[in-house]
Structure 1
Amino acid sequence: MEIEAESAKEAGTISYMARSMVMATLPHRAVKGSEFVRKNGAYTLSLLSPSNVGLPYGSLPRLLISWVTTEAVRTKERELILGDTLSEFMRELDIVPTGGRWGSITRLKNQMKRLFASSVRATFDDGDSFAVGSVNIVDAANLWWDPKDPKQTTMWKSSLLLGEKFFREIIDSPVPIDMRALKALRQSPMALDIYTFLTYRMSYLSKPTVIPWESLQAQMGAEFSPTSEGARNFKKKFLMHLKRVKLIYNELDVNDQKAGLLLKPSRTHVLKLK
């Protein structure tokens, strides 16, 4: 109701997401190994991480990427200051600091380590043309906070130095989103992916388009098996989370069809600012 009553611009909640992370998304849950691959048509994204660190997964890395992208767009700086204290930074993510092995502090720092140690390799191959490029999300990360005392101010400020290519991409072509929507959907990484993807697609969709279920599964459901049963399970879960997204993005005009998801031109959830 709050989102319907007041636009993101009026509410001051316009945020951004890196386009590359919208086109092919992060793992939804913990996965084995040090490489994760997702596809979107001829576009393939490979997420690589040191084997002793592990791959990022779940909602927290998505919130972190949105914060990084938004802050870079706002400041136009590669070096981002994360705040004087861990508690201060967690407030910006709307996370209540809790301790312990399974507390929010432990989980956030674990996912920050995984995300900032990762690199991305993007390839384009349509059979005729081929292109490949590698991107570091960050070139340097300095996290000096004390997790045992999240309110403690440290001598040095925690900071990130974004990779040059990643910084240029998020500055040149960020995807506008509403931070209130991320907060409302944060319990489900798939719901976050559906929201950001459809917000992006509607920003340039000019005619009704059907996206095959196989393509959507390759893009957002790599954890599901490629069998017919896996495809049914993915579709069922996707449609369940789509209902939640449509409650927030009520101008979204999409329909379930046997061949795939039918997208009709709709007002994008957040208009691009000039």
Structure 2
Amino acid sequence: MSSSALKTVPKAPKGARTAAIRPSVAARLFEEAQAIEQEDAFRAGTAGFMGRALVQATLPYREPDRDLPVWGRTAGDTSLIIKPGYVHDDETGTFKSMGYPYGTIPRLLLAWLGTEAVRTNEKRVVLGKSLSEFMDSIGLTSHTGGRNGSITRVREMMKRLFASDMAIMRGGAPKGADFATSKFSIADETNLWWSRQDPEQAGLWQSTVTLSDKFFNEIVATPVPIDLRALRGLRQSPMAIDLYCWLTYRNFALRAPTTIPWEALKLQFGSGAEAEKKFRETVKRALLQVLAVYPAASATPTKAGLYLEPSKTSVPRLVKDW
């Protein structure tokens, strides 16, 4: 990477232990940042959309214990609760957990599905002729096989995401407080007909996902506009993706400076028993990447929390003012 490219990457936020982004990641961030600076997302055709609920309360970063009956995350008075899907185990003759969707891939899937739902206004989404083509469309250009390869992980995360049940809960604590819950799944119907052996080969039938009414209605009614080029740049860090989506969402409504306490941020973006000091450093490292592709965001880590000042949104506002 050229020295000029390195100079465009933001310096680490004050107090961060890591002073630089890995060169390979910095190069990708620089490439996407240059494209974003030259042309806005709508003109470039890279405007995407995420569901508001899954921006406020996010998926796991690492794989939770499969034996957990439910997994959840809380942001303010809003909680996301996930129950994994189950599949029959031929060896034991019982049903076992498929595991939880986690990491980067489900986030890229949700962004792509949300974008297609808003673009077509159709619940039935065609995924593409081949798995390779679909992986390219969600921003995964490296197609590797084997047990831990990207091809295997994409198929697995798709199955986990579409088989799981979710609920958004608001309130409920303390006793007697207002309470509301909305249960939903991402998809009502999933058909994946791609070849397992050859990701380049087109399936005999179209691979499709039919979005659930609740997920479709929310994404169409209250979409959070994002730049898919930013997600491509951040694709190796699920927390960076979450911070990016959350910051541009906050900036659609932020009218005055505010500080989000570390305790609140840990509930929304933390991972369970992680020490607060370690969590702060993780946020600072992720923020360093976010600011490379969203330099207009004014977000500064302080002793009290993350200090936000009203900033331009990552994607320009539309006339409809999403």
In structure 2, relative to structure 1, the CA distance for the partners of 1:178 and 1:16 (3 Å cut) is same
Aligned partner of 1:209 in structure 2 is: 258
1:175-226 C-alpha deviation (Å, 9 max, x unpaired): 100011000000000100110000100011011111110111100113443x
Identify the match of residue 211 of structure 2 among 162, 175, 185.
162
Say whether residues 1:123 and 2:169 are aligned partners: yes
Per the alignment, residue 99 of structure 1 pairs with 145
Q: Which runs of 4+ in 1 moved over 3 A?
A: none
- Find out whether 1:88 has 2:121 as its counterpart: no
Which stretch has the larger CA shift, 123-132 or 22-31?
Answer: 123-132
Letter in 1 for 2:288: K
Select the structure of larger CA radius of gyration: 2
Q: Count residues with an aligned counterpart.
A: 270
The one-letter amino acid paired with 2:80 is L
Say which of 178, 186, 204 aligns to 2:235.
186
Residue 171 of structure 1: aligned partner: 220
The residue that corresponds to 1:17 in the other structure is: 50
Distance 2:149 2:69 in 1: 25
Hey, what does 2:199 align to over in structure 1? 150
Q: Contact 1:34/1:54 (CA < 8 Å) preserved in 2? A: no
The TM-score normalised by the length of structure 1 is 0.95
Q: In the alignment, which residue of structure 2 is the partner of 1:48? A: 83
- Indicate whether 1:272 and 2:317 are aligned: yes
- Residue 39 (structure 1) aligned to one of 74, 84, 97: 74
Which range moved further: 256-265 or 190-199? 256-265
In structure 1, give the amino acid aligned to 2:249: Y
Separation (CA, whole Å) in 2 of partners of 1:224 and 1:185: 25
Name the CA distance, whole Å, in 2 between partners of 1:197 and 1:26. 13
How far did 1:34 drift? 4.1
What is the rounded CA distance, in whole Å, between the counterparts of 2:53 and 2:202 in structure 1? 34
1:126-158 alpha-carbon deviations (Å, 9 max, x no partner): 643111110111111110111201122222111
Could you list the per-position Cα deviations for residues 95-124 of structure 1 after superposition, in whole angstroms to 9, with x for gaps in the alignment?
232211121110100110111111211111
What TM-score, normalized to structure 2?
0.81
**Shift of residue 10, structure 1, vs aligned partner:** 2.1
Structure 1 stretch displaced more, 59-68 or 90-99: 90-99
Gapped regions of structure 1 (runs ≥ 5)? none
Aligned with 1:141 (options 183, 190, 195):
190
Superposed CA RMSD in Å reads 1.3
Given that 1:224 and 1:233 are in contact with CA atoms closer than 8 Å, whether structure 2 keeps it comes out as no
Give me the whole-angstrom Cα distance separating, in 2, the residues matched to 1:180 and 1:123: 31
Matched, 1:231 2:276: yes
The whole-number CA distance in structure 1 between the counterparts of 2:74 and 2:309 is 23
What are the ranges of 5 or more consecutive residues in structure 2 without an aligned counterpart? 1-33, 86-95
Aligned to 2:246: 197
Name the CA distance, whole Å, in 2 between partners of 1:87 and 1:77.
23
Between the aligned residues of both structures, percent identity stands at: 45
Is 1:60 aligned to residue 133 of structure 2?
A: no
